[in-house]
Amino acid sequence: MDLNKLLEFKYTPEINEKLVDYGFTKTFAEGDIILNENAYIKAIPIVMSGSIRVMRTDDDDREILLYYIKAGESCIMSFLGGIHQDTSKVKAIAEEATEILFIPIDKVNLLIKDYPEWLDYIFRLYHKRFEELLDVVNAIAFKKLDERLLDFIKKKCSINNNKTLIITHESIANELGTARVVVSRLLKQMEQEGLVVLGRNKIILN
Amino acid sequence: MDLNKLLEFKYTPEINEKLVDYGFTKTFAEGDIILNENAYIKAIPIVMSGSIRVMRTDDDDREILLYYIKAGESCIMSFLGGIHQDTSKVKAIAEEATEILFIPIDKVNLLIKDYPEWLDYIFRLYHKRFEELLDVVNAIAFKKLDERLLDFIKKKCSINNNKTLIITHESIANELGTARVVVSRLLKQMEQEGLVVLGRNKIILN
DNA sequence: TTAAAACGGTAACATATGTCACATATTGAT
DNA sequence: ATCAATATGTGACATATGTTACCGTTTTAA
């Protein structure tokens, strides 16, 4: 396994070797729950292929999408949670078939000590997540649902590099933290405006 | 200057000395803008006394409160921004008279290399901010304004350790990202329910 | 002292979103 | 083919929040 192209930090063969050596790989199918809220964290995950979506859930089962984790990235919340022996505050779900390399927490600390690039990688990811979270705050606080919905569709499409989304109104509603009827209503509107074409389980972006 | 009690990581005289040595101190009055959005970051701030509030602003001047930074804590966004030569995505304002120790970015990197406790301090703060941000997402996404308003008042009170808040409806509205009339309306309601007592520039929590 | 500015109260209304109820269409299982 | 489950469409209505307008009161500045 060669992490060179995946991870964004400067490659050294040693780090690669160490990571593969220390870690273990697991695969997940679409929809599998990788990390549950309040679960204890013993290893931090690096996405090797596929992608993950990270959700925040409310007390009464309402959820909202925070961000996606793509190949080469790590769930940085797990990382910090792991370091501080904390439980997870978020839920992670496989968006598609996904392969994950888990690095046990104690090994992570070893790596930090020995390889500054590794630390830099972690900081960079942290920064990225933080900004994405700020964007979420912005969206919920200041944007209306129709705009958020359109953004959502576009983002999903860009992940698959595809104009056609296979998804139900129901699950869109869940990810945006609203109700199914609301999504249906807005989508119908968008269809009339010519922004999308709708079908059962299907949305085509124009 | 002794940072022992302020910073939460294990104290060593060397770190203390280095920090004071590398850094420079500035003082701010209530309402002073410490960091503006899109400003370049050349040093990371550690709050020695007083407190700061960090806001996210929209394109059209709407703002929303993210979190407070209290004595002993650092604005971690600045930290990451600084490391990656980025501009700030947030705005920081002095809540009260505040004294800040600025550590230049290059020195920060030196310290990380030499003192693992310092790195741990940074990670811990990061974790804290991240979770606070998650709470903000939760609040905006799932809570109604009256609840957020009450939470806001309680939090402000707890900072000053005081049941009386000196603040205008206008500025509350700004921090919550809503309009003045809305805040006035809800406050009046809360007063009728016996939750608070209102006065000009004043809210007393029962 | 007087004018201007800041602060808060309130009504009326607009709009976005949530909720309920029910209809229809599509799919899948038996 | 039939039935059940799932996905969607739609109307009617409730509610939360945003907006505008205008008022009186208090504070501040000239």
State mean pLDDT over A83-91.
Answer: 72
Residues in A closer than 8 angstroms to B119, CB to CB, are: 112, 119
Pairing mode of beta strands B33-35, B43-49: unpaired
- Is B119 in contact with A112 (Cβ distance < 8 A)? yes
Q: CA A155 to CA A11: how far, in whole Å?
A: 29
pLDDT per residue over A105-161, tens digit each?
888 888 888 888 888 888 888 888 888 999 999 999 999 999 999 999 999 999 888
Q: CA A82 to CA B54: how far, in whole Å?
A: 27
pLDDT of residue A4: 57
pLDDT of residue A184: 97
Q: CA A100 to CA A46: how far, in whole Å?
A: 6
pLDDT of residue A65: 96
Q: How confident is the model at residue A15 (pLDDT cuts 50, 70, 90)?
A: confident
- Is B86 in contact with A134 (Cβ distance < 8 A)? no
Span CA (B183) to C1' (D21), Å: 17
pLDDT of residue A190: 96
Mean pLDDT by 10 residues, chain B (206 residues): 57 75 91 74 84 86 90 78 67 91 85 82 84 93 96 93 95 96 97 96 95
- Of residues A181 and A33, more confidently modeled: A181
pLDDT of residue B16: 76
- Is A133 in contact with B129 (Cβ distance < 8 A)? no
Which residues neighbour strand C (beta carbon < 7 Å)? A 144-146, 177-179, 181-182, 186, 200; B 168-170, 180-181, 184-185, 187-188, 198, 200-202
- State the DSSP string of A94-134: ESSSEEEEEEEHHHHHHHHHH-HHHHHHHHHHHHHHHHHHH
Report the residue of B136, B137, B145, B178 to disrupt the A interface, i.e. the one with the largest count of A CBs within 10 Å. Answer: B137
Q: How many helices (H) and strands (E) does chain B have?
A: 7, 10
Report the residue of B63, B115, B127, B135 to disrupt the A interface, i.e. the one with the largest count of A CBs within 10 Å. Answer: B127
pLDDT of residue B149: 98
Q: In what order do the strands lie in the sheet with B98-104?
A: B24-28, B98-104, B43-49
- Nearest partner of B190 among B142, B156, B151, judged by Cα: B151
Token pair 């705050």 is found at: A137
The pTM of this model reads 0.89
- Of residues A171 and A86, more confidently modeled: A171
Instruction: Point out the residue among B56, B80, B140 whose CB comes nearest to the CB of A126.
Output: B80
- Of residues A76 and B49, more confidently modeled: B49
Q: CA B67 to CA B54: how far, in whole Å?
A: 6
Bridge partners for A65 per DSSP: A55
pLDDT of residue B8: 56
Q: CA A61 to CA B142: how far, in whole Å?
A: 11
pLDDT of residue B123: 82
